[in-house]
Amino acid sequence: MADWANIWIALVLVAGSMQKSAMRKPSRPRRSVLYVPASNAKALAKVVSLAADAVIFDLEDAVAPNAKEDAREALRDYFRTNPTSTAERIIRINALASEWGAEDLLAARACKPDAILLPKVETPQDVTNVTEVLEETDASEHVRLWAMIETPRGIVNADEIAELGLRSTGRLDCFVVGTNDLAKDTGTSLGQGRAYLVPWLMQIVLCAKAGNIDVIDGVYNDFADAQGFTAECTQGVQMGFNGKTLIHPAQIETANRAFQPDEAALAQARAIVAAFALPENAGKGAIALDGKMVERLHLDHATTLLEKGQKSPS
């Protein structure tokens, strides 16, 4: 009986390891994520010439209520004219419960973007409701979901929401922090290096990492303040964010540079990957490298870092 118990435990551990491996998502750079109002024809025309890693085509806050329908049509035209893109493309819709949400979702699904960004996500159900609509309408499995965490309740439930990222059949791929809404809803100051927001930002980052999803920092409102923006990018890198949302193309280069892995980190990552690839290290859980013990978890991190580092700074 003991032997069978040991075999059963071993099978469970192997299955768990395989599931964890299967859940590892392909990593792509999300250093710079630019908001572009879908109602702004001039801004849409410039997108193809920009070096942003990702573009959020906004149907929500950046579009006036009386311009929602025209914005959807402009977005449909844009995607028809530009069926492919080197940048990741995301469409932010209005909340599904709003008067514009259903039409936004149908328009976004028809455009076949890389992802759809959901505003003011506060519970896992906010994500699963949209997932169910996409499944029922046979939307491509390649259309992912991003979630805005921008309310007090969203932060409180961030862990439960992020768990959706661990589901093999789920679509949740990324958190985006809405710092302006958080500050407004809580009366918290964005000044002094966001000191009063930091505990909440770190909580969101931690939940995202636990859910194996990316997390993008909020916007910096004064696009003319290059020094302040650079400082906030550096802070975001140190906090563990994967990139930063932007409100102006002038911020792209700084964000790309800040969130790009430096050469020393890339060299170390290459060394780790190369060491584990040696025949004598096949199957080993830990090896010695340059006088330090390196484990498989370091290999996973190194692989992810190299994938992100493939795109050099603009």
Residue 12 domain-assigned (yes or no): no
Do 147 and 283 belong to one domain?
A: no
Residue 19 domain-assigned (yes or no): no
For the chain, give the number of residues.
314
Do 279 and 185 belong to one domain?
A: no
Residue 6 domain-assigned (yes or no): no
Record the pTM.
0.85
Do 246 and 286 belong to one domain?
A: no
Do 104 and 147 belong to one domain?
A: yes
The CATH number for 176's domain is 3.20.20.60
Do 284 and 303 belong to one domain?
A: yes
Please report the pLDDT score of residue 4 as a whole number.
Answer: 53
Residue 54 domain-assigned (yes or no): yes
Do 90 and 66 belong to one domain?
A: yes
Which of 25-34, 81-90, 138-147, 286-295 is predicted least confidently? 25-34
Domain range for 236? 25-259
Paired sense of beta strands 286-289 and 292-295, if any: antiparallel
Alpha carbon 227 to its chain's center: 25
How far is it, in rounded angstroms, from Cα 127 to Cα 123? 7
Q: Which of 259, 275, 293 is the last residue of a domain?
A: 259
Over the stretch 191-209, which tens digit does the pLDDT of each residue have? 999 999 999 999 999 999 9
Highest mean pLDDT among 10-24, 130-144, 287-301: 130-144
Do 134 and 281 belong to one domain?
A: no
Do 94 and 149 belong to one domain?
A: yes
Do 173 and 275 belong to one domain?
A: no
The DSSP letter of residue 94 is: P
Residue 156 domain-assigned (yes or no): yes
Q: Which of 212, 237, 259 is the last residue of a domain?
A: 259
Contact 124, 147 (CB under 8 A): no
Over the stretch 172-191, which tens digit does the pLDDT of each residue have? 999 999 999 999 999 999 99
How far is it, in rounded angstroms, from Cα 205 to Cα 65? 32
Report the 10 Å Cβ neighbour count for 308. 21
Do 95 and 212 belong to one domain?
A: yes
Residue 169 domain-assigned (yes or no): yes
Structural domains counted in the chain: 2
Q: Among candidates 29, 63, 61, 257, which has minimal Cα distance to 148?
A: 61
Do 192 and 298 belong to one domain?
A: no
Which of 44-58, 139-153, 198-212, 300-314 is predicted least confidently? 300-314
Residue 15 domain-assigned (yes or no): no
Over the stretch 208-218, which tens digit does the pLDDT of each residue have? 999 999 999 99
Do 208 and 304 belong to one domain?
A: no
* pLDDT score of 3 more than 70: no
Q: Among candidates 303, 288, 242, 179, which has minimal Cα distance to 33?
A: 242
